A and B are shown apart, each in its own frame.
Chain A
Amino acid sequence: MTNPTLAAGPVERHLRARRDTGRGLLMPYVTGGITPGWTDYLRAFVAAGADAIEVGLPFSDPTLDGVTIQQAGDTALARGASTRRILADLAGIPEPGVPLVASTYYNLVLHDGSEAFCAALRRAGVSGLIVPDLPLHEADELAEAAAAAGIELALLASPSTPEPRLAEISRRSRGFVYAVSLMGTTGERAALAASAAELTARIRRGTDRPVLLGFGISTPDQAREAGRHADGVVVGAAVMRRVLDGAGPDDLRAFLATLRRALDQECDAPR
Chain B
Amino acid sequence: MAHEGSILTAADLAGNGARGDDPDVHGKFGIFGGRYVPEALIPALDEVAAVYEKAKNDAQFLREFDHLLRTYAGRPTTLTDVQRFSEQAGGARVVLKREDLTHTGAHKINNVLGQALLTKRLGKKRVIAETGAGQHGVATATAAALLGLECVIYMGAVDCERQALNVARMKLLGATVVPVTNGSQTLKDAINEAFRDWVTNVDTTHYLFGTVAGPHPFPEIVRDFARIIGVEARRQILELTGRLPDAVCAAVGGGSNAIGAFHAFIGDEGVQLHGYEAAGRGLESGEHALTLTAGSVGVLHGARTYVLQDDEGQTIESHSISAGLDYPGVGPEHAWLRDSGRATYHGVTDDQAMAAFSLLARTEGIIPAIESSHALAGALELGRELGPEATILVNLSGRGDKDMGTAMKYFNL
Chain A positions within 8 Å of B, measured between CB atoms, are 59-64, 66-67, 70-71, 74, 77, 82-84, 105-108, 110-112, 132-138, 155-162, 165, 169, 180, 183-185
Whether the Cβ atoms of A158 and B200 lie closer than 8 Å is no
Whether the Cβ atoms of A156 and B43 lie closer than 8 Å is no
Contacts of A105 in B (CB 8 A): 299
Q: In the docked arrangement, what's the CA distance between A85 and B34, Å?
A: 30
Residue in contact with B40 in the complex, picked from A74, A134, A180, CB distance below 8 Å:
A180
Whether the Cβ atoms of B39 and A157 lie closer than 8 Å is yes
Q: In the docked arrangement, what's the CA distance between A185 and B37, Å?
A: 12
- Sample of 12 further A-B pairs with CB below 8 A, known A63-B191, A111-B309, A133-B38: A64-B38, A64-B196, A67-B182, A105-B299, A110-B298, A110-B299, A133-B299, A135-B37, A136-B39, A158-B38, A161-B43, A165-B42
Given contacts A64-B199, A74-B183, contact A160 B34 (CB under 8 A): no
Whether the Cβ atoms of A156 and B39 lie closer than 8 Å is yes
Contacts of B309 in A (CB 8 A): 107, 111
Q: In the docked arrangement, what's the CA distance between A160 and B198, Å?
A: 13
Given contacts A82-B312, A110-B313, A138-B36, contact A184 B182 (CB under 8 A): no
Contacts of B39 in A (CB 8 A): 135-136, 155-158, 160-161, 169, 180
Whether the Cβ atoms of A84 and B26 lie closer than 8 Å is no
Whether the Cβ atoms of A108 and B313 lie closer than 8 Å is yes
Within 8 A of A (CB), among B185-221: 188-189, 191-192, 195-196, 199-203
Whether B393 is near chain A, meaning CB under 8 Å from some CB there, is no
Whether B49 is near chain A, meaning CB under 8 Å from some CB there, is no
Whether the Cβ atoms of A107 and B37 lie closer than 8 Å is no
Whether the Cβ atoms of B312 and A84 lie closer than 8 Å is yes
B106-114, B160-168, B274-282, B300-308: which lies at the interface:
B300-308
Whether B271 is near chain A, meaning CB under 8 Å from some CB there, is no
Whether the Cβ atoms of B40 and A138 lie closer than 8 Å is no
22 residue pairs A–B, Cβ–Cβ below 8 Å: A61-B183, A61-B188, A61-B192, A61-B315, A62-B192, A63-B191, A63-B192, A64-B196, A67-B182, A70-B182, A83-B313, A84-B312, A105-B299, A107-B298, A107-B299, A108-B313, A110-B297, A133-B38, A133-B302, A135-B36, A136-B42, A185-B199
Min CB distance A196 to B, Å, is 13
Which of B44, B192, B307, B312 has the most chain A CB atoms inside 10 A of its CB?
A: B312
Q: Which residue of A lies closest to B316 (CB)?
A: A60
Contacts of B304 in A (CB 8 A): 110
Determine the interface band of chain B, counting residues with CB < 8 A from chain A. Answer: 35 or more
Contacts of B35 in A (CB 8 A): 135, 137-138
Residue in contact with B299 in the complex, picked from A64, A106, A183, CB distance below 8 Å:
A106
Whether the Cβ atoms of A112 and B183 lie closer than 8 Å is no
Min CB distance B48 to A, Å, is 13
Whether B285 is near chain A, meaning CB under 8 Å from some CB there, is no
Q: In the docked arrangement, what's the CA distance between A111 and B299, Å?
A: 9
Contacts of B412 in A (CB 8 A): none
Which of A67, A71, A158, A169 has the most chain B CB atoms inside 10 A of its CB?
A: A158
Min CB distance A191 to B, Å, is 16
Whether B314 is near chain A, meaning CB under 8 Å from some CB there, is yes
Contacts of A66 in B (CB 8 A): 196
Whether the Cβ atoms of A183 and B192 lie closer than 8 Å is no
Whether the Cβ atoms of B40 and A158 lie closer than 8 Å is yes
Contacts of A162 in B (CB 8 A): 43
Q: In the docked arrangement, what's the CA distance between A110 and B297, Å?
A: 9
The 4 A-B pairs at the shortest CB distance, nearest first, are namely A111-B313, A158-B40, A184-B200, A60-B314
Which of B38, B39, B192 has the most chain A CB atoms inside 10 A of its CB?
A: B39
Min CB distance A49 to B, Å, is 29
Contacts of B300 in A (CB 8 A): 61, 107
Which of A61, A82, A156, A185 has the most chain B CB atoms inside 10 A of its CB?
A: A61
Q: Which residue of A lies closest to B193 (CB)?
A: A63
